[in-house]
A and B are shown apart, each in its own frame.
Chain A
Amino acid sequence: MNLWTRLYDYWKSITDSSFVFARELRRIFTDPGVILIFFVATLAYPFIYKVMYWNERIANIPVAVVDLSHSVESRDFLHKWNATPDVRLTHTCASMAEAEELLRNQKVHGIIYFPQDYAYQLADPLGKAHISLYCDMSSFLYMKGVYLSCNMVMLESMRNIQIDRYEDMGYDKEFAWALVQDAPYTETALFTPTGGYASFLIPAILVLILHQTMLMGIGMLAGTAREEEDKTIYRIIGKRRSLGVMRLVSGRALAYFVVYYALAAILLGFMPRLLGIPHIGDIGDILRFNVPYILACVFFAMTISIFVHERESGLVLLISTSLVFFFLAGVSWPKEMMPDIWKSLAYLLPYTFGAHGFIHMNSMGATLEQVEWEYVALWQQALWYFIVYSIFTYVASKWSEKKLNPFS
């Protein structure tokens, strides 16, 4: 083989791949169902989630008060508690039964109860007073808001009581202060100072939207091709089958990659700024991280699409994966608490690495070097799914010529 034939071969493989690439782009842009999933859903969902979690945090949770001590001390406590942003004391009840009724009817989401001896115990230099707090457990955020704010007020009141007691014992005030506040502390929420729900959830959702719309859209394209007995997804161009497979797979993957790289730039680069959620990452690093993420997602979705035989069945089968993948990634439910088997399963999904990598960069300001582990893992996934899908295409094209293709 002389130099010219070889050069011609290279040229041919480029033109063939470009042909497949253009054909796949045409299929994407002429299919209304795919356009709906690829573009409309992808761009609309971030806004919907932003609107749903607009307020970022839950404030003024209604709480009922049962105060049997009727004391200055209890009133003082309640006054301080009511001043916190988390709760609002909406009902004062004469008995626990009355307050429980309110909780059952969801008028309040917490009850605070002062026993009769509350003030008496506080006045006793050796006494220990108790407050009972009842939290509505129907949502984690109710419990967190009621419990943590009450705990904070309790700690502050406790300090004041301690100081009073030491003063009564004859220590001077300064010493009492030093004793009580021996270890003052500052607490700082790093990276996302508002600590809001949207700031936490939306970055993970943005990454998931890309993953899932790709999964469903590519599944739909593969299903359509099989249904219409359009063999283009495994008909080989050129003489050597192995080279043909490369041209076919790379041409199609490039079409998806181009479309989704643009979408990822919008969703992961621009959307956090537009929606006003934390974005302290370096945009260049995020764009570079997107390359293996989108590639891994493309080849993962293509591999899953092997099992989609019909245009619509992919949607029916894959819909519940969104929730499973979201939990599996270990963003909302910490990975430290997951059984090993699910941790291993999570490593098969591009979303797991994509979500952590993006959150570390976008929300915590990590550099690309700091997310190296995720970055490398995504390149490996891209490679593995590429190999798996290429083998499949090779086999399918062989069978399709012998007319025994079980995948059509």
Chain B
Amino acid sequence: MTSGRQRWLGPAMFLPAVVYVIALVGVPFVLAFLYSVGDVKVGSLGYHFVGLKNFASVLRNPTFLRALRNSFLFTISSQVLVLIGANVLALVLKDAFRGRRLLRFLILLPWVAPVSIGSIGWKWILDSLYSVINWVLVRFHLVKPFSAPMWLGEPKLAMISVILVHTWHMLPFATVIILAGWTAIPRDIPEAAAVDGAGFFRRLFQIQIPMMLPIMNVAVLFGAIFTFTDMTVIYILTRGGPYDTTQVLPSMAFFTGILGGDLAEGAAISIFLVPLLVLVAWLMLRTAHRSEIA
């Protein structure tokens, strides 16, 4: 009797998740793909297949090429910073000391706080007139008043600012993952290395980090894909400006497709990322798998 019920129970429990994924990931994805090879604009009624015309037009657009380059710059530099920062933080947090719990909680805060709220905070911190950073710099006579840096107004500074704010937001998650990796290494092993004559850096780079590579791969995989597809920080801080110098592919797709009304070209821009992300994911999973079986 129960066997008949059990046969349906599994699929029934599974169904909401499947529906959810199809409705919110599958359908938009297929739609985006169809848009990218069609001529759809906001408000247009018909659909004509145009082949790769949208992609060709996108590739001729210098802003697109800049956004593509920025996407890589944004992702790679923030991931490098996150990885270094998370390792340092994990190194500090793994040993017991007074106030560790409080510190762990504080470090986790940027992750729990909504990105938009955090970013708006940073927008004020980096504001051209009311920036607290500039106020401090002026008070310490490090810069002259009225010639203080325009954190979000100068192309290079703006890029640095969005990278740093995004790093700030991503750091806690990576720290938690890497901290878990640290605690999974048996205490004996770094101790054996110490007795074997290895100093701090040799232990770190030849023993502990190689042992954590699979876990760091996971952290980087998640971080990279999340960063590649995210535009919150850029949208709030710079809107891709000044002069599109901080534009990344997701923000450009949004501005072109949703705000600009050219759905087909927006879709082409966002679809452009897919093969790349698949490749990144595949590479990461492969290295993770390799270091696991080796």
Binding between chains A and B? no
User: Which residues of chain A have a CB within 8 Å of any CB of chain B?
Assistant: none
